[in-house]
Each structure stands twice: as C-alpha cells, then as structure tokens.
Amino acid sequence: MLEFFINGQSVQAEDNQTVMQAAKANGFYIPYFCWHPQLSVPGNCRICMVEVEAEGGGWLDIACNMPVTKGMRVLTDSEKVRTRRKETLQFITLNHPVDCGICDKAGECTLQDYHFEYNGSPSVSRDAKVHATKHYPLSERIVLDNERCIMCTRCVRFTREISKTNSLGVQNRADHSLIRPVEDGRFENDPYSDNVIDICPVGALLSRQFLHKARVWYLKPTPSVCPGCERGCSVNIWHRKTEWKLNALDARQNACIDRVTPLENPAVNGPWICNKGRDLALIFERARAEQAMHKGKPIDLRPAIANARALIAGAKRPVALVSSWGSNEELAAFQAALGERFACYVKTDWLPAPGEVLEDGLLIKSDKNPNGAAARARFPALPADARSAFPPDTDLVLIWGEGFSFAQLPSKAKIVYLNSYLQPENGHADVFLPISVQTERRGHYTNFQGTVSAFEACFAKKDGIADAEALFAALAAPAGKASS
C-alpha cells in the first residue's frame, strides 16, 4: 500500500494500481470511455486526462495508464483538466451525429452524460460531419452505426480478450476508421457477441431485438437469474414500468421482456452473459398454458387441484418427476409436502438444443437447467433409462415441468402434470395444472458452484395459473382443507 493524493485528499492505493483504479476504489470519479475494468488499457479516448502536480510545473496524462507513485498529487477537476475534457468532448462529438432523439442508447449513454456534465456547449465546428455507414449488419443480432461510433475499441478488445473469437477489428485510418467484423463471419458465431452492445459507451452497437423497441427510461430492470444453464448468471430483465403502461396498441407489450442485460455479479458471471441469456423471451414467452384440464377437458383450477389431490391420496405406488427448473423454495415446498408420499426423481427439463454451445471456458455450462444441482441435492436423478424408475405397479406419476415424453410412462399409471407452456402432452394428463414461470414469482436458484442467486417477479401471474410453491401444500392437504 502507498499513500498519494487526489484533489488534496490523502488516498491509499495498491502498489501496482493505476490512478484510475485507485480513484475508483476510493470513490473519486474520473470520466472514461475506452477504459473498462475487465479489458486492456488502450488509452485512446483521452477523456480521463488528469493533472499531476509537481515542482516546476506538473503535467497532464491519462489516468487509466498512469501508475500511482508514492506522494503523487493528482487533480481530477482542475481548470486545465476541465478545459482538456471539454476539448476532447468537442472532438468526440465533432463527427458524432448527436441523434439522441432516435438513438436506443439515449438515457444510458456515456457520451450524453459527459456532454451534459463536462461540456454543455454547442459544436464549435462549421464544417459538415464525416458520414459513415449507418446500419452495418455486424451479425444477425447486431447492427452497427459507424457514425455514432467513437472508436473506443471496447468491442474489438472484448472479442479479443474475453470471448476470444478475435472477430472484430478496425478498418481504415483517421476519421475514416470503422469497426468491422473479420471476413470469415466469426462474429456471427460468437456466443457472447451481445455483450458488445452493453459495453459500447454510445449507441453504435445496437441490438436488433431491441432496436427502436422502447426508450430505456420507460423500462424497469428487475434482477433475475438466467435459467439457460447451471451457471445461473445474474441478469436484469427489462420490462415496461407500470406507470408508463401503454393503453393503446397491444396490451401484451406491458407484460413482455423488452431486453435482458447482465447484472454484474463477480461471484458468478462478472459483467457478462451469453447470447442465450439475452433471448429469455424465447423461453418465457412461448405460448402459455392458462387453463387447467381434466383428461383434456377444461375445468377450473380449484376442482382440478381437488381431483389431483384425490388421485394422490388414493395412489399406492406414486412416482414424482421433479423439475430442475424449480426454485429452491419450490423444491423445499415439494419435499416438505410430497417428498414422503412419492418416490422422487429429478428430471432434466432441458437438453442442449442442436448447435448450441455445450460448454466453454468462460460462462456456458453443459447442463442447460438452472437448478439441477439443488434438486439433485434433495432427490436422486432420473436414471438414463427412465423406464427403470417406474416399478410395474406404478399407479400415479406426478410430472413437474416440461421435457419428459409420456411414452416412457407405464401405461396404467394416472398422470398429474404441472406445466407452464402450451404443449400437446397437457391434454393427455389425467389432471393438468398450469403453473407460473420464473418471471411471475420470486425465488432463488443454486448454481453448480453452490452460489445462491435471487430472482424477482417481473409480471403478475394470470388468474387460473397456480404457483407451484403453494400448490404442493394444497396437493398434500387432507381432503376438504384444500386451497388453491
């Protein structure tokens, strides 16, 4: 540890820290575009210029690349520093279109914030701006607006240092410089490509899914956990704020996932998530089962629960297949209410999709279920040959969650099926009970490392859909005491 001074205040720093790191650790803010705590230091944006006081003058240099030395006196807000910042921002906005009004990044744009905070004056240029490609198709997922790009090269460094696909680079020189993908299309196959959208300090890299979908200030991030694999990355699920509810247009827009971004969690995923995590809408917004059924015929939820309870109460040899997508709370409720009554096995709800990355050194894990480890800590896993789990005299099977073919069930067994999505099997069950999905409830998942992460409810569940946690107690309750 060594002592140095920021704006006259004594500050402690590690020996090999830069001024930027030490300032950040001690609560001093120095603006930056190109610097990123997880990436190398290119020092190209020049906005983090600070002044070092020294005898006989002193000098200005970039904080991100300046090692702290003992007794060093740094000024982050001197007159000289403010002038430099202003000049740098004038340079950066020189050829930037300043089209915040139609830019998806507006509201969370670093350039916008800094311009407001450190510059505030209109352009001092009289000359036409340099034009560049407006909608460059970087990949199926991302479009690039080269005019908005400020050449911080965070995206380039991300593909070199984090996702390691080396799929982006810089073409041309001077103010004609362009971010471009390498020619063999590797960027298309980068499973982490969407992170460049988040780390882009301006609106140059745009998600096609989110393009012009909503202004970010109408949206609310709800902390959640990605169920895409057993890593359980912390994410923010963005959805419309209730106070900005849309009354016209499609009402479904008020209860849909607008986008998913990483929620920084050093214990699990750092600041990144993979592209699958961005596509949670593809999982949660499939057609939902909203109607309880008795042998394929719609009935109300309450009598359906009573029917299921009666089947469970009457069964002699019941087997339960437990979901690996259940939250810790649901698993505990299941075990407490029905764990004794059933022979329980944990089933694998989701198998890797064809072409999906199975596992890599960064985040992606091969078990594509969020809570398999926690479920298997309570119950044994379903054997590879599922039929061996069912004794010949099995008379009732409770199936919780999707991903199990009814063809593997003993033919005489009755079926109680709990599922969230509209699937053909639903109608083949003796009792079908629709249950809520992750975005409609709160709970916790335990990932493969044993780290527990919480998720919150984004939307209210519809009437007629049960919450599994409460449902299990109702299914176990003696006849007559049931409640849904």
Closest separation in Å from C-beta 127 to another protein: 4
Site for another protein in 239-278 (CB under 8 A): none
Pick one of 2, 26, 43, 442: the residue that binds another protein (CB under 8 A). 43
Member of 70, 126, 252, 481 binding another protein (CB under 8 A): 126
Buried b (16+ CB within 10 A) or exposed e, 446-459: bbeeeeebebeebb
Residue written as tokens 């069912």? 390
For position 60 contacting another protein by CB under 8 A, the verdict is yes
Determine, following the binding rule CB under 8 A, whether residue 92 of this chain makes contact with another protein. yes
Interface residue with another protein, options 91, 118, 218, 448 (CB under 8 A): 91
The 8-class DSSP code of residue 421 comes to B
Residue of the chain from 17, 88, 207, 261 that contacts another protein (CB under 8 A)? 88
What sign does the CA torsion over 276, 279, 282, 288 have?
Answer: positive
Report the alpha-carbon angle 274-275-280, nearest 5: 105
Long-range contacts from 109-114, C-beta under 8 angstroms, 24+ separation: 109/201, 109/202, 109/203, 110/31, 110/33, 110/201, 110/202, 111/33, 111/150, 111/201, 111/202, 114/31, 114/33, 114/47, 114/85, 114/89
**Least Cβ distance, residue 30 to another protein (angstroms):** 15
Residue from 5, 24, 41, 191 that binds another protein (CB under 8 A)?
Answer: 41
Residue 85 has phi, psi (to 5 degrees) of -60, -45
Which of 78, 177 has the CB closer to another protein?
Answer: 177
Task: Based on the shown chain and the rule CB under 8 A, indicate whether residue 484 belongs to the binding site for another protein.
Answer: no
String of contacts with another protein for each residue 173-192, x by CB under 8 A? xxxxx---------------
CA separation for the pair 24, 311 (Å, rounded): 61
CB 364 within 8 A of CB 274: yes
Nearer to another protein by Cβ, of 29 and 59: the residue is 59
Please pick, from the candidates 77, 87, 147, 467, the single residue that binds another protein as defined by CB under 8 A.
Answer: 87
Q: How many residues does the chain have?
A: 484
With binding defined as CB under 8 A, does residue 7 bind another protein? no
Residue corresponding to tokens 């699958």: 276
Q: Which residue of 13, 150, 225, 364 would you call a contact of another protein, by CB under 8 A?
A: 150
Among 44, 133, 335, 423, binds another protein (CB under 8 A): 44
The one among 54, 130, 351, 460 contacting another protein by CB under 8 A: 130
**Among the residue ranges 165-173, 279-287, 396-404, 456-464, the one whose residues contact another protein (CB under 8 A):** 165-173
Does the footprint of another protein cover residue 84 (CB under 8 A)? yes
Q: Which position among 20, 39, 47, 482 is part of the footprint of another protein (CB under 8 A)?
A: 47
- Quote the least distance from Cβ 203 to another protein, whole Å: 18
Tokens at residue 64, please?
A: 């991100």
Shortest gap between Cβ of 43 and another protein (angstroms)? Answer: 4
Residue whose CB is less far from another protein, 34 or 476: 34
Sign, Cα dihedral of 328, 329, 334, 340: positive
CA distance 184 to 214: 33
Contacts with another protein by CB under 8 A: the residue count is 37
Phi, psi angles (nearest 5°) of residue 236: -105, 125
CB contact at 8 A, 301 and 484: yes
Q: Least separation, in Å, of the C-beta of 38 and another protein?
A: 18
Q: Is 75 helix (H, G, I), strand (E, B) or coil?
A: strand
**Among 45, 197, 206, 416, which residue sits at the site for another protein (rule: CB under 8 A)?**
45
Q: What six digits make up the tokens of 305?
A: 């629960």
Q: Which is nearer to another protein, 41 or 477 (CB)?
A: 41
Q: How far is the CB of 62 from another protein (least distance, A)?
A: 7
Kindly state whether residue 125 participates in binding another protein, applying the rule CB under 8 A: yes
The secondary structure of 209-243 as a DSSP string is: TTTTT--GGGEEEEEEE--SSTT--EEEEEEE-GG
Identify which of residues 69 and 449 has a Cβ nearer to another protein in the complex.
Answer: 69
Residues 96-115 that bind another protein (CB under 8 A): none
Residue 464 touches another protein, criterion: CB under 8 A:
no
**Cα(482)–Cα(484) distance, rounded to whole angstroms?**
7
Please answer whether residues 284 and 276 qualify as being in contact, where contact means their C-beta atoms are separated by less than 8 angstroms.
Answer: no
Min. distance of Cβ 125 from another protein in angstroms? 7
Residues at the interface with another protein (CB under 8 A): 41-47, 49, 59-60, 62, 65, 67, 84, 87-88, 90-92, 94-95, 124-128, 130, 150-151, 169-170, 172-177
